[in-house]
Structure 1
Amino acid sequence: MNSKSKPNIIVFFTDQQRWDTSGLHGNPLSLMENFDHYAMENTHLFNSFTCQPVCGPARASLQSGMYATRTGCYKNKIPLKQNINTLAKYLKKQGYSTGYIGKWHLGSSEPVKKEDRGGYDYWLASNLLEFTSDAYETYVYDNQNKKVFLPGYRVDAITDAAINFIKSNQKKPFFLFVSLIEPHHQNNTDDYPPPIGYREKYTGKWSPPDLDALVGSAPRHLGGYYGMVKRIDEAYGRMIDVVKSLKLFDDSAIIFTSDHGNNFRTRTREYKRSCHESSIRVPTSFIGNMFQQGGRIKELTNILDIHATILDLGKVKNTSHCDGKSIIPLVNKTSRNWENEIFIQISESELARSLRTSKWKYCISDLTSNGNDKPSSDNYTETSLYDLDADPYELNNLIGINAYDEILNDLRKKMKRKIKKIENISIKINKGQNITNPGQLGLKPDSFHRSKKKL
């Protein structure tokens, strides 16, 4: 360790990346060899989730430490309020240099006005990177909002810019947020464009069980998606090499995570915005600094806990705003009261709430809402129950089966308490459609609660 009293903090943030792209979660294609290696040698958050499976709200929550209903960014196209304190604002007060590179998605314009940048000092970013760039044509905006072309494949272009920032900011603690668009699809073509030659390597290869069963757009998209993930991991490893060569690894905490997952149109009309693991579970690790030899953490954590951990690393004292908790007590094996439940807010596809425990997934939805008309509700209907031990890829929806009434009663109470605590709303939960003799019905995923509601 050098003389710095606080570690450098680097967030390497991907977009729409499923947890099971990692070999540590069963993927056999060696897509994330760098992630897997460093996660095993450092700290791996095995059960890591978003708190809102859509881009803007998840990013607002990570920057602010608050649920989407508290930030007001409960769906895309709602800018983060300028008076909300962000990671950059908190850490600047602790003496950090701050930088943001890549996709922002929390501004009111393109390019992003200075007052909408969350307080970051150094800026090389775009509000909607998927619209200002393409796979081999990356355009972002600098501090003066001048358009800047970054050469190379987009993942490499953004990572190169991050490496330049790291090399130029070694004299004092820095906080760098590197925000990739990959492996998100290219919106204007509905494609997942990997580096040249990478799609062919992975098309027709291993597919997760949920995509095998439900298909969606996976046959068309998975090869390109995997190719993007492979290049992300290569760039991640290259950035770590630079940190190590500058002898900054012991003095730097590097966080790898994503805003949400990807269900490949198996659960909704597009790629996320559902309660399922494919939409909400992400690969996450903390490496370097105090996280070396931290081991695998099995407790359930979410993106709000990452915010709280970053502030803990930066020695920010006032964290009363945080809806999450620092994972440092888990790393130090001093935590005795970790709440092993994840609460998820869902919008746009539906107005829904989900509770994820170590064994159960429970979801409720306001069937009168289109998911865009309001941030919250006081009237929900049960739509999903999954036994994650027996059915980890959620192919058998158990809602409405009498044998699970006791489980549902308990989850219903927990959900009401969660919503009251987080949203300050007392809610009604209507029971799902009753199913008798389910063994004779040929159950299919989501068939019952979806039968009366268009996606």
Structure 2
Amino acid sequence: MFKRIHKDFKFLLLALGVLSVLGFKSIQSKAPAEKAAPPNVIFVLADQWRSDAVGYAGNNEVITPNLDKLAKESLVFENAVTVMAVCAPWRASFLTGQYPLTNGVFYNDKPLPNEALTLAEIYKEKGYQTGYIGKWHLNGHARDEHPFSARDKPVPKDRRQGFDYWKVREVTHDYNNSYYFDENDEKQFWKGYDAFPQTDSAISYIKRNKENPFLMMLSWGPPHNPYHTAPEEYRKLYDPAKITLRDNVPGELRDSARQIIADYYAHITALDKAMGDLLAAVEEEGLSDNTIIVFTSEHGDMLFSKGVLRKQRPYDESIKVPMLIRYPEKLTKPRQITGPINTPDLLPTLLGLSGIKIPDTVEGTDFSKPLMKGTDISNEGALIMLPVPFHEWKFSNGGREFRGIRSERYTYVKDLKGPWLLYDNQTDPFQQKNLVGIPEYKGLQDKMEKVLQARLKQTNDKFLPADDYMTQWNYLYDDKDSLRNDNYLMINR
């Protein structure tokens, strides 16, 4: 009897073994996969950092070891193009995924409407913790207030566009005497060079919220001018006499350009140190694989190329910015992305990477699928614009309304008078030969005009004079000198 039971037991074990190979494995394969945890998002934004001012882009003089290391682990966007090369319009376009004429922020210090659906509101609805540290520049001022009056005031809670953790000042460029307002509108001071304690605050936020999905936006003020205010230890790293200039810096300005660029690079190296601290903290907390890290800037700086400073202009020094995206979980192959990506495209692409449905209010393009598949962006070009000249490049010093396309190779720009600029950026990287009106380039000009007109139609942009948009949005020019003079050409409408 015992032998029979033993024999039956052995048979049962044998049968179970067969089932484990043939059956159980099949059943196991059909079990639902564990749902992946939502990725954290850390978005680091610098102000006025142009695309060639990083080591990984081939600049051998600027010191950016941490960003260079990050670039080796990231998608490197060679043609990240700001839709409008000035602060507030970029920020509103990024947060909403819309073009400036849609959300109304096409002029600095004008308010982003409360009704706008923004980055933080979208992520917050999906259960994310949300935090913002640094420069905001989206609260704006009322029509009857002094133009810059809101820059030193707290941003009301209902104007924070979905961000809960809050250490923010509307605008400041006094980086060594910098204050902010917290969630309760209490005024606090950053100690020393503000980018360093701001980054430390972001690190503290990350550590406290690592058990939940979070969205953290860290917004530095530098390397925006004033150029000479970086910490002394970083300024000592650069000898102006050894700075190499771009070919399009005029001879009479080259000494001034070297000094300014040396100071500009000092800010950049200080920020690179802060970026290194942030990346180290993400690694130490074990968050690297499932965290999307974005580094970019609002716009560039001419730095005396073509004889001018700052931004707003349609040249590469102004419109092109550095951009890196690292997300090891889904972007497993670091590589160069050459297709142009525009400011409104950033929000939908982030949402796509995060597995979040893109709202109908978003106008930009989601490029997450080709990026995750390991292919490049397919795009005829990024839209660039200046609906209203103001502040540093107003009518009185040559500012003009323009619309244009920056493709992977070409730049084409129109003003209200007609075609204005056409550059082959491959053969003419310093944009010194304008091809507009040259017969042999007529086919290229016509092609770029067609691309521009299609984009304007797509965005419902009628390309009107500045005054029309100011009237439409009930805005006032912040400076009487911004007004068009009597000699400015008005087209028939």
TM range (shorter): 0.7 to 0.9
The 1:423/1:41 distance shift into structure 2, 3 A limit, reads: same
What secondary structure, in the 3-state scheme, does the structure 2 residue paired with 1:332 have?
helix
Alpha-carbon distance in 1 for matches of 2:209, 2:421: 48
Given the superposition, is the C-alpha separation of residues 170 and 183 from structure 1 closer, same or farther in structure 2, using an over 3 Å criterion? same
1:19 aligns to what?
51
Between the aligned partners of 2:444 and 2:74, the Cα distance in structure 1 is 36
Pairwise CA distance, 1:267: 4.8
SS of residue in 1 equivalent to 2:369: helix
Structure 2 contact 350–368 (Cα < 8 Å) conserved: no
Distance 2:464 2:224 in 1: 35
Q: Deviations over 1:348-390 (max 9, x none)?
A: 2321111111221111112xxxxxxxxxxxxx42211111111
Where does residue 370 of structure 1 map in the other structure?
Answer: none
Structure-2 separation of matches of 1:267 and 1:79: 32
The CA deviation string for residues 369-421 of structure 1, in whole angstroms up to 9 with x for no partner, is xxxxxxxxxxx422111111110121222222222122112222222221121
Separation in 2, partners of 1:398, 1:167: 53
**Is 1:183 paired with 2:215?**
no
Structure-2 residue corresponding to 1:104:
136
- CA displacement at 1:42 relative to structure 2: 2.4
Structure 2 match to 1:285: 324
**Corresponding residue number in structure 2 for 1:295:** 335
Confirm or deny that 1:167 pairs with 2:217: no
Of 231, 242, 249, the residue aligned with 2:281 is: 242
Residue of structure 2 in register with 1:115 after alignment: 158
Distance (whole Å) between structure 1 residues aligned to residue 98 and residue 346 of structure 2: 11
Cα 1:3–1:239 change in 2 (3 A) is: farther
Inter-partner Cα distance in structure 2 for 1:426 and 1:61: 18
Q: Identify if the C-alpha distance between structure 1 residues 212 and 285 changes in structure 2 by more than 3 Å, giving closer, same or farther.
A: same
**Aligned counterparts of 1:282 and 1:66: Cα–Cα separation in 2:** 19
The structural deviation recorded for 1:201 is: 2.3
| Whole-angstrom CA distance in 2 between matches of 1:77 and 1:210 | 34
**Residues 211 and 218 in structure 1, CA contact (< 8 A), matched pair in contact too:** no
| Structure 1: distance between partners of 2:463 and 2:189 | 51
Normalised by the length of structure 2, the TM-score is: 0.78
**Count, aligned residues:** 410
Q: 2:168 aligns with which of 125, 139, 149?
A: 125
Aligned CA distance change for structure 1 residues 163 and 334 (closer, same or farther; 3 Å): closer
Q: How far is the alpha carbon of 1:259 from its aligned partner?
A: 0.4
Q: How does 1:203-282 map to 2 (within 5 A)?
A: 203-210=240-247, 212-213=249-250, 215=253, 218-267=257-306, 270-282=309-321
Q: Which residue of 1 aligns with 2:38?
A: 6
Distance 1:18 1:453 in 2: 31
Which structure 1 segments of 5+ residues have no match?
A: 367-379, 429-451
- Who wins on radius of gyration, i.e. which is larger? 2
**Structure 1 residues 212, 336: CA separation in 2 closer, same or farther (over 3 Å shift)?**
closer
Please, which of 93, 116, 141 is the counterpart of residue 61 of structure 1?
93
Aligned-residue offset at 1:424: 4.2
Worse-matched range after superposition: 5-14 or 108-117: 108-117
Aligned mates of 1:136, 1:285 — CA distance in 2? 28
Q: Quick one: distance in 2 between partners of 1:51 and 1:194? A: 28
Q: 2:234 aligns with which of 198, 208, 213?
A: 198
The equivalences for 1:299-318 within 5 A come to 299-318=339-358
Q: Give the equivalent residue in structure 2 for 1:407.
A: 444
Instruction: Report the counterpart of residue 178 of structure 2 in structure 1.
Output: 138
SS in 1 for 2:422: strand
The letter for the 2-side match of 1:194 is: A
Partner of 2:424: 387
1:425 maps to which residue? 462
Residues 200 and 223, structure 1, Cα contact 8 Å, conserved in 2 = no
- Is 1:43–1:292's contact at 8 Å kept on the other side of the alignment? no
Deviation at 1:90, TM superposition (A): 0.4
Q: Indicate the residue corresponding to 1:354 in structure 2.
A: 404
What is aligned with 2:413? 363
RMSD (CA atoms)? 2.4
Tell whether the 8 Å contact from 1:360 to 1:388 is kept in structure 2 after alignment: yes
* Residue 39 (structure 1) shift: 1.3
Distance 1:237 1:248 in 2: 15
Return the alpha-carbon distance in structure 2 between the equivalents of residues 50 and 337 of structure 1: 16
Indicate how the Cα distance of structure 1 residues 71 and 363 shifts in structure 2: closer, same or farther if over 3 A, else same: same
CA contact under 8 A between 1:343 and 1:353: conserved in structure 2? yes
Aligned-residue offset at 1:334:
6.5
2:366 to 323, 326, 329: 326
Q: Which runs of 5+ in 2 are unaligned?
A: 1-33, 141-149, 394-399, 466-486
User: Hey, what's the Cα distance between the residues in 2 that align with 1:83 and 1:314?
Assistant: 24
SS at match of 2:59: coil
Shift in Å at residue 337 of structure 1?
7.8
C-alpha separation between the residues in 2 aligned to 1:268 and 1:422? Answer: 33
Conserved? CA contact 2:49–2:299, under 8 Å: yes
Which deviations, in whole Å up to 9, do the C-alpha atoms of 1:190-244 show, x marking residues without a partner? x441111322322233334245447475234111100000111111011000000
TM-score normalised over the length of structure 1: 0.85
Structure 1 268/141 Cα, relative in aligned 2: closer, same or farther at 3 Å?
Answer: farther
- Are the structure 2 counterparts of residues 389 and 10 from structure 1 closer, same or farther at C-alpha, using a change threshold of 3 Å? same
Conserved 8 A contact 2:82-2:384: yes
What is the CA-CA distance between 1:427 and the residue it aligns to?
8.1
Matched residues in 1 for 2:307 and 2:97: separation? Answer: 27
Contact kept in structure 1, 2:178 and 2:194, CA below 8 Å: yes
How much does 1:24 deviate? 2.4
Q: Percent identity?
A: 30
Bigger mean CA offset, 31-40 vs 321-330: 321-330
| Letter of the 2:168 counterpart | A
Is the 1:129–1:140 contact (alpha carbons within 8 Å) kept by the matching residues of 2? Answer: no
SS at match of 1:19: coil
CA separation of 1:327 and 1:275: change in aligned 2, threshold 3 A: same
